[in-house]
Amino acid sequence: ADNLIVQDPNQVMENKVEPGKSGKWLPNASPPVFLVISLSIVTFATVLLALSLIYTQEQTHLDNFLQATDFQVCQHHGLSRALSPDAICTLIVAPKSLSVQSSNTASADHTRFIFQSWKALKNVEFVIVSDDCTTLRLANIYGLATFIPSSGSAAEDFTYRYLFKLIDEILPVQSSTVGFSNGDIIYDSTLVDSVNHMVQHARDQGWRNWMLSGRRTNFDLPRHCMTSDSPFNVRFSRMVKIALETGSLYDSVAQDFFIFNRGIDLKWECIPPFLLGGVYFDNWFAGMIAHHPVIKAVDFSSVLHAYHVNHGHTRSLSHGSVSSTINRVIGYTGENYIAHGNLECMPWVATKNWTNGIEISSRNRDLEDSKVYDNFWACQSKQ
């Protein structure tokens, strides 16, 4: 460097020092290209190293958290434990894999908080369906029941219809009410209140087949609210307060849970093989339920609180997934396509009355005739 000097900015840099001058960069000179490139490489390498250290620390922290548990749950076929006979509702969920760590899918802190919230909910059982050992072990730590999919087909294992069939017909469920929930939804006591009221209303009205659904409340939650040393009930109460004060209901075209009476009049194998984690199934399914001749479909969005922590700057990440691409191919064929299957289609709606009680009432409107589900009706009639 002592042999290099930048003279006038308009002149070419020379590789010698003029007599009587030291070899220092002149104040107004631009750094040479090689220096800019070198600094860029060093900066990029530093960023990569920092990210690698962060990932390693988080993975090590998770491994340390799990190291006290054995791997038996990862080889256990069938339910990992018996389900409670006191449960009024049993939900099946398929969380994103914890082994694939990223800030926008399934961070360990986020998943731990969700699992804790599910375990803390009274009289509700959650069955975690996964083939990821890390996810299964974490669920086991929090006392949640787990199940490794075993339909006999790797392609079928993670379809919506297989999970619905599992919870409705196959698993030894104790509750008369079952359902499916997206794997990143947090519930509070309004879930139990809603199910209790729905069951009682169906009994009073003589409804033999019913299904309720709803949409989530999106909100931002600081990470320290999930990871602080405060007792879980304190952190959970803080989360609910933040969600109710700052959150917003998501669009009615997206449904995050479906809860129904076990033994509902549906043949799950007649549903197209939509893949878990992909878009469009909820639209197809909500439209089908709304048009079903014997099922009472009820929108519980304004009563049942379903909380969803935003994924930073990568919202709607699932829209670009392989599962979504396949689901669009399935859904956009002529026999399956429906453009507006959403909660507004459901003929019944649950609301709070002036005494803060729940009321279920008709929307008093008829849906247009649809040929969309003709293949489904034909398949179901043959079963």
Each residue's pLDDT tens digit, 101-154:
544 444 788 999 999 999 999 999 999 999 999 999 999 999 999 999 988 888
**Average per-residue pLDDT for the chain:** 82
Tell the burial category of 29 from Cβ atoms under 10 Å away from its Cβ (0-12, 13-18, 19+). middle
- Per the domain annotation, does 111 fall within a domain? yes
* Number of domain units in the chain: 2
Return the CATH number at 302.
3.90.550
- Per the domain annotation, does 352 fall within a domain? yes
- Per the domain annotation, does 348 fall within a domain? yes
8 and 139 belong to one structural domain? no
pLDDT at site 221: 92
Most confident of 3-12, 146-155, 156-165: 156-165
What length is written for the chain?
383
Host domain of residue 373: 72-382
DSSP, residue by residue, 18-63:
PTT--S---TTPPPPHHHHHHHHHHHHHHHHHHHHHHHHHHHHHHH
CA-closest candidate to residue 209, choices 218, 219, 220, 198: 198
For residue 228, name the pLDDT band (cuts at 50, 70, 90): confident
- Per the domain annotation, does 221 fall within a domain? yes
Residue with the two structure tokens 């109710």: 244
